[in-house]
Amino acid sequence: MKIKNWGTLAAVGAAGAYLASICPRINNRPDISSFEGKVFAHRGMFGGQIAENSIEAFEKAVENGYGIELDVQLSSDGQAVVFHDSSLLRMYGEAKSVSELTAKELSEYGIPTLREALEVIDGKVPLIVELKGYTSDVSVCPIAAEILDEYKGEYCVES
């Protein structure tokens, strides 16, 4: 047999090698059936007097059986906190950056740490954890991963 197109053969070989390298991740995926057909409360169930990504919004979502999507970023003291925006402007009318405030200062606005949120949710509903990166600093990833490694509930991480 004479091979006419070495480029095509190389591409097919590379694709095969790629598929073989990811096969363990495809075959060993955890059971995600708890996510299938689930309705998720984006930033918890908020509205009225309940702020998004707050303990109250998470409690209400759990009470109603909704999965929860929440956002995680770092405070100035390296704590994983649950808040969507890079600043407090939209939610609280203050042009303060989340990354410039400590977790204690953020708690005065009702902004929880990831650990506090996970304590309340307590594995009762599945989570979608979105890691926020408003700078080139990606240290939120290992910090959130360490916290999530201790969590017994089902979750997935996105960014």
Look at the alpha carbons of 127, 120, 79, 105 in this order and tell me if their dihedral is positive or negative.
positive
Whole-angstrom Cα distance, residue 31 to residue 65?
Answer: 19
Measuring CA to CA, which residue among 122, 117, 118, 143 is closest to residue 131?
143
Out of 44, 53, 68, 84, which one is annotated catalytic? 84
Which ranges of the chain would DSSP assign to H, the alpha helix? 6-27, 55-63, 89-92, 103-107, 114-121, 140-150
Asked if residue 158 lies in contact with residue 132, where contact means CB atoms within 8 angstroms, the answer is no
* CA-based R_g, the chain, Å: 20
Q: What are phi and psi of 157, to 5 degrees?
A: -120, 135
Active site residue 7: no
Find where tokens 């509205």 sit: 47
Active site residue 42: yes
Measuring CA to CA, which residue among 74, 72, 70 is closest to residue 58?
70
Out of 41, 42, 117, 120, which one is annotated catalytic? 42
* Catalytic site positions: 42, 84
